Amino acid sequence: MNLKTLPFMTTIVLFILSINLSFAQKPIVLENSVPEVVLKQSDFTLMEWDKPIFKLLFTPNAKQIVTISEYQLPPEPTVFGVWDIQKQKLLYEQGVVLPQLLEYSGEPATSFTKEDTQLITEWVDDGQTLLLAMTGKQNRAEAIRLRQSKLQVVHLPSGKSWEVQTKDGNEIVVSQFSFHLKSKKLIDIKGQILEFDADFIQANVLKSELVEIRPPVNKVKISPDGEKLFLFHFDQYTEDRVEEKIEFKHRGRRSEILVSVYQFPEMILLRDLNLRRFYLSNAFDKESEQSLSVNFQLLASKILNVTLSHSFHVYWDFEEDRLLSRYTTSTTSPRSYYDLTKSFYLPNSQLYVLNYGVLNISNSQLISIHSIKYMKIQREISIRDWELIDIALSKKASLIAGNFKRIPTTQERSDQQLSKIKEKFAHLEQIRLEMMAKMQNKFPLPKSPEPQKKEVIQEPTTIKFGVLDLKKYLQ
């Protein structure tokens, strides 16, 4: 290197370092040695139901748990079961016709899978009445084209249900939404803000859409005090503010990944956090065409935890706009992922619990326990042997609940794979014989080999689900 250029190069290096330090960011820590607790089905307080379970949820007092059977298109009813946790007893069942799942275009959905379908529920009282809607991805390659449904209220003890309407008598269609009980306000990712009457029969539309929010919004969440709104979205547009008007111009494939904080319901922008400043990964560009999993958890009054793609964690003081901590974990991407919003914060112990889903490699459900004091994962809980299809979390009593489904043994999986290989070879042999018969045109077509009888693995006639108190694992 020329000695004359050395001072110039030194200046450039110091300038780059000053920019990096200005972000006041901590280095990424790989959490590869987190203590792990392995649980089995026998560790849970078990109950059985004679129906496949689509969703589990605790009542607000954590004394009862509600099991919801697989979603049925109208007019078929979906069954709700209400259970006493302490007595391990089914109290009653109600068949409820849930709202029609609609495509993004508004047309009724004719097909769906559990992986792409979610039932969003919010309690509007002490555990008897639910506000709910159906949503889900219309196409796995299109993140923002979420299916939607009419907004519905269900009173479980009576089994009565009704669709919420505006004061003008118009129907209300929503997608993914967040609801605040005390203020009786709701906002969905399309930007409409609703305020309900005392009986949740009608709603006043405060805003039909929010043009000032940069599209597309992937997730919304109202803070517990109802004064702030958190949004997660891919900002694929630039802003040009001309005479206080906002115009959007497409910027191209590389998207900005933003978490925004708004004053609610006035919708005044308070803060933006651009995650690309801290995690420069091409994976975000690839996932921008799909639904990037995200979870918000408000810790204390001004600290927000954001979890992306099951492994990237950020602690952000949004009032001071200061990044407190960030790290990645070695968690692999879940094989079946339904709802990463299942997390709860325990103020007394300064911990919060987050459900990751079912992991690819170990066939186990992973739950992480995060320490707010040290801003890192403190412990991971794996539930093996039986697959947790769905999980409910309760703040009231530090409870978790899971729906267990039998996982085939290694021998059963090997037998199934061998059977598929034999079927494929038999099919290829039949094609070969047909071609020989056509070429020779002399011999009759040989008889097809008789298909082998497939060994059917009998599924249990009842579905087991269980409840577990996390108290002893939170120490």
Helix (H) / strand (E) containing 143: strand 142-147
Q: Tell me the one-letter amino acid at 360.
A: N
Give percent helix, percent strand, percent coil of the chain, each to the nearest 5: 15, 45, 40
User: Per residue in 322-361, pLDDT tens?
Assistant: 988 887 765 544 444 444 457 888 877 788 788 766 555 5
Cis peptide before 216 (omega within 30 of 0): yes
Q: Residue with structure tokens 């059917």?
A: 456
pTM, to two decimals: 0.76
- In order of 8, 12, 14, 17, 214, the CA distances from 1 in angstroms are 12, 15, 18, 21, 48
45-413+460-473 CATH pick, 3.40.50.720, 2.130.10.10, 3.40.50.300, 2.60.40.420: 2.130.10.10
Domain boundary assignment for the chain? 45-413+460-473
Residue stretches of the chain with pLDDT short of 70:
1-33, 104-106, 110-116, 137-146, 210-216, 234-256, 278-293, 309-310, 329-341, 356-364, 385-387, 406-410, 412, 441-461
pLDDT at position 285 is 46
For every residue of 42-83, DSSP letters joined together read GGSEEEEESS-EEEEEE-TTSSEEEEEE----TTSPEEEEEE
pLDDT at position 449 is 60
**Contact at 8 Å (CB) between 45 and 88?**
yes
Angle among Cα 137, 138, 143 to the nearest 5 degrees reads 55
- In order of 422, 424, 436, 439, the CA distances from 433 in angstroms are 17, 14, 5, 10
pLDDT at position 290 is 45
